[in-house]
Amino acid sequence: MTETRPIDVALENRLMGQGIYVTECTLLSDNDVTAAGFDSVDDLPDGTGLVLEYETVTETSGVGSDEVGTVVRTLLDIANEHGWAPGRLEATSVTTDGAVRGHWHVDQAWFDGLGLELDDLEFSQRVLETIQSEAAQQE
């Protein structure tokens, strides 16, 4: 049985069990960010992107590949269950105190090409190359 919840709630519920807590999630559609609390995942048009902020309890100061992988896999699982093709994902990782640890993103073309012209390894490499650590930006 699939969830018939808003995407923000579906992500929050699944990521929480992985130690990742969604603090903000908004839709990114046609370059226009809309408010969170939207209709069911089943109602999202293909190509709808997300701006996601989450906190994680970790001792590291930067974004880790494990957390990126967990967020991407969870989003893809939800998308596959609902027959939805995600658009761009823009993510910000913060500490439990709200300090930004870093940013990363996934282009819609990478989601679209996954399993076609991009294998899992190349997809992962592209995503991990987008990580911008907050500590590195302050140097």
CA 118 – CA 25 distance, rounded (Å): 27
Nearest to 135 by CA among 91, 105, 98, 103: 103
Q: How far is CA 2 from CA 14, 69, 79, 82, in A?
A: 12, 22, 11, 7
Q: At 54, is the secondary structure helix, strand, or coil?
A: strand
Q: At 130, is the secondary structure helix, strand, or coil?
A: coil
Write down the pTM of the prediction. 0.86
The pLDDT assigned to 3 comes to 46
Q: At 39, is the secondary structure helix, strand, or coil?
A: coil
The pLDDT assigned to 33 comes to 46
The pLDDT assigned to 45 comes to 83
Return per-residue pLDDT of the chain as tens, 139 residues. 444 568 889 999 999 999 999 999 988 865 444 444 455 777 788 888 999 999 998 878 899 999 999 999 999 999 999 888 999 999 999 998 889 999 999 999 999 999 999 999 999 999 999 999 875 554 4
The pLDDT assigned to 59 comes to 78
Rg of the chain taking only CA atoms, in angstroms: 14
